Amino acid sequence: MIVYFNGKYLELNDVKVSPFDRGFQYADGVYEVMRTYKGKFFRYEDHMQRLAYSLNEIKIKFDKLNDLTVILARLVDANNQNNEEITAYIQVTRGAAFPRKHSFPPEGVPPTVFVSTSALPQNTFSIDEGIKVILEQDIRWKRCDIKSISLLPSILANQHALEQSAGEAVWVNDGSLTEGSHTNFFGVREGVLYTAPLSNLILSGVTRKVILEICDSLGIQVKESAIKENELESFDEFFITGTTTEVKPVVQINNLIISSGRPGVLTGKLYEAFIKIAYSHSL
Ligand SMILES: Cc1ncc(COP(=O)(O)O)c(C=O)c1O
């Protein structure tokens, strides 16, 4: 597998990361994940904008965002010849500097840039199936709008979900369900779609944005207002969204079974619309 690392295209095993890299020592960096539909990266500009936002918010100076188009094309060319769909991982850290020191490294220390592409596994998911999610108290920092590589709370929550036979953990912040460990969260009540508003408490999901655009085009009413834990029973449907998750119905939250355990009708409609748009790169 060929990857991009600090200006070079290398065999994965030839990559040498400094133990003093700030990503390695402090999780001082940001990342992006994208995927292709029909071989073309979906919502590429949205992902690049979010990466630029994350970099800017943590003050990493990286002026080569435009090079990523060529880097990704070369990696896809080197790794993915079988017309399969691809996921790309881009990570930028504040670089390697010695001695270890919390404050930023001196001017001139370049960021560490890593990019990889890999084939997405065949999608075996059916929209007729829903998943269980568990609720976790949100123990993350208060800048969840930044796609930081510091993911320990999400790792622990996700592992906990797995151990409870659940597909995702959803964060509860001050009594409200904000988002999942790696997805955005939605509910439907009497035909109205609810999702937490953009703020420092959630990541501005690209898939979330597409879903809201679909609702706009289909005339589905949206309330960007977080769903409260004590009102879950009043909702008819729930689902989560994400780049590789796409749109997944949620049919159980902790022990609460939603609508007799069947995926919701509006969820199905939004899923169909999403898939159509994703494969046609329209909207
Ligand atoms: C915390 C969090 N929320 C939401 C999302 C969904 O974002 P997107 O739809 O851009 O993949 C992700 C994706 O990784 C995430 O990590």
**Where would I find the H helices in 58-197?**
68-79, 152-163
Residues in contact with ligand 1 by the CB-under-6-Å rule are 33, 179, 182-184, 203, 205-208, 241-243
96 secondary structure, DSSP code: B
pLDDT tens track, the chain, 283 positions: 999 999 999 999 999 999 999 999 999 999 999 999 999 999 999 999 999 999 999 999 999 999 999 999 999 999 987 889 999 999 999 999 999 999 999 999 999 999 999 999 888 888 889 999 999 999 999 999 999 999 999 999 999 999 999 999 999 999 999 999 999 999 999 999 999 999 999 999 999 999 999 999 999 999 999 999 999 999 999 999 999 999 999 999 999 999 999 999 999 999 999 999 999 998 7
- Predicted confidence at residue 210, as pLDDT, reads 98
- Predicted confidence at residue 264, as pLDDT, reads 97
* Pairing outcome for strands 222-224 and 192-195: parallel
**Residues designated as active site:** 147
Question: Mutate which of 31, 89, 143, 183 to test ligand 1's pocket (most atoms within 8 Å of Cβ)?
Answer: 183
Boundaries of CATH 3.20.10.10 in the chain? 131-280
The ligand 1 atom nearest the CA atom of 243: 11
Which CATH number applies to 131-280: 1.10.287.1080, 3.20.10.10, 2.40.30.20, 3.30.2310.20?
3.20.10.10
Contacts of 102 (CB under 8 A, 6+ apart): 26
Contact yes or no for 194/211 (Cβ under 8 A): no
How far is residue 175's CA from residue 172's CA, in Å, rounded to a whole number? 6
- Predicted confidence at residue 80, as pLDDT, reads 85
- Predicted confidence at residue 282, as pLDDT, reads 87
- Predicted confidence at residue 283, as pLDDT, reads 75
Answer whether 0.75 is exceeded by the pTM. yes
By C-alpha distance, which of 136, 130, 131 is closest to 166? 131
- CA of residue 107 to ligand 1 center, whole Å: 32
Nearest CA to ligand 1 atom 12: 182
Hey, is 279 helix, strand or coil? helix
- CA of residue 98 to ligand 1 center, whole Å: 33
CA 264, 269, 273, 276 torsion-angle sign: positive
- CA of residue 180 to ligand 1 center, whole Å: 8
Which CATH number applies to 2-119: 3.40.50.11290, 3.40.640.10, 3.30.470.10, 3.90.850.10?
3.30.470.10
Tell me which H or E stretch contains 249: strand 246-253
- Predicted confidence at residue 123, as pLDDT, reads 81
Q: What's the one-letter identity of residue 193? A: L
